[in-house]
Structure 1
């Protein structure tokens, strides 16, 4: 593999970090035995009080097994099952039924133990998903709080530093590590900038990260199509070190970071993260070869949240792409339904933490989104419950396009990634 192709490989791999590795376990092709759970409606979508019928099969070498016993559970996603037990699959299949009386998602999970291994399958029926509304409250001073925070951060010098990464450059693209001062003096923001070598003025894409701690390769393939790309991390550490360092941080100092200072709205961990996304836009606008007109923001999971939030906070953003956004309707669990990742209120909480969450919840930023958006997800997401991100999606009063692939979980098919790229290129006139 030559150097240019290797960089393209790294780019594709890095973009796929939007896809949770845990989600890959749901892919039918990764295990020799598959547990298939299939709703009786092709679109997996039902009206309240309508029965959903789930057909369960266990396949080995793609052939149904007979007289095998499965354990099943049915109920609202992430909540206690309303029906559970064991089912003998006669003639290779069995039937489980359930329903919801209002908007939400009903999940049927089945598992089987064979030769000491447990295999699992799920299917999730959507009940009037476009009618789901948030449980999170909107603070009276929400916009005032963020306008004040942005104004304060704007006074901090950007102090941008670029380091060329020759081994990542291609014949047509220069690649740099970017080092910026964030919302407070001494706090840094790092990312990978890729931009065309040819002189000119180009549109830009800001790529915001999924949850975790990792290095980044940059998005070189879009830069080769004449688009400036900036892929950022959020933790204030360089993004070009060996993976071992990030593993140590993920399991050590940064373990549980979404909960850091959750009882203080000014010091909560995501304060500098959200403002850092705005600072990244400041940097893009400082580039002489940015056309200052066409800027999109793109991310999945935590990044899907940050895409919506950034577009809401900064009117310089002209469009967004969001995959299964996290941090949405965080208070769902306090209202007997699934709340968004990181599931901070699953076991209850204090009034102060609940109050702080309202200033950082995606649903409250979604109310102020005014630019076109492309959204994609499925019903089987175990990490970011569909109930939570529909609560955000449904309050967006702006042009929006949803590419729904029902069977996907916290992962995407190549077809979804292709649709994303095509939408980005179309929006940017490429």
Structure 2
């Protein structure tokens, strides 16, 4: 029987657009716009200048803090500009513009061959850090930070997140089918680095082919269990996944390491395998281009820095003018103001939705129906959090209603008959509390 959790919702998956579309390699565009911020944490500092010739895999922006991840050139060519350009998360950001020379040459020494079974944990962690790996499910938390918990918080379980519960997105699904061995190898490497012998791979039951492929690949590997999860959103949320697979509950305001668990996305696992076995840094990723406005929805392997405009053109453009462009999924993704923004390490999907997909009604007052409370996977009272945020009572939301436990999944908004912008008010409250804490 598939495992599940309290609450959640059942949005239309709409994965039929791309679920059966194999991953294709996208052409390298003439220009790549590579932001120096592609992760949670401090931005990187460019270590190249305009006019420099660079090679694929070369470090072009270096991390200046522990919670940061270096940036590498996605192809070989010439640095033609370092300036602010559109960014899919921050609006705009300093970016390094590389004009491709058409050769796509690797920097000297890459790729290389390494036997991960002969490497110790510290060596593996160093490679992960230097290769610029981040969480590829969308959160973009630097992978090496997750892999280095403090001694006071020993890790005993590793979870590989293959749920991909957001509607439309199928990049992880295709990765599990087409690069199964790489995904499993990346998981084993991560488990070795963490020194754990117990691991779970959680996959929603609407992906029976992926479940079968991973189970076959894990035959004879002790300590790894592939678990079928009920198809329900947000099954792939980190804290939800931990509760479902281990029975442990991350404490309020805590992190997975507080219950001895580390969670990584399947895309991150594949990137770990590439980095540790072949020295290949994170310069490309699989992204789903989908939605009813796209002529030919596809799963494509893009170089980091490819613009959304180029990505859409590789799918034969729009069949009609989209009403909204979203990076990520429709539940937790971010609406975009321009197609000039580039694909970054956390771009799991680009959705182009028509007006018929988006039926927005005006917001009205909360009617106290309790549907958001039933849907909330974290057991919160979203209705009160929205009211407090709307009225500017930010500290009460934090201190009395567990504001920081909200994972911003949007389940509450999905079921709200009053069409309240609940997540918007919650994000506002979090930002105001953070600003107050910084001021103090």
Q: Which TM-score band (shorter chain)?
A: under 0.3
Higher relative contact order (CA 8 A, sep 6+): 2
Task: Using structure 2 for the length normalisation, give the TM-score.
Answer: 0.25
Between structures 1 and 2, the one with greater strand share: 1
- The structure with the largest alpha-carbon Rg is 1
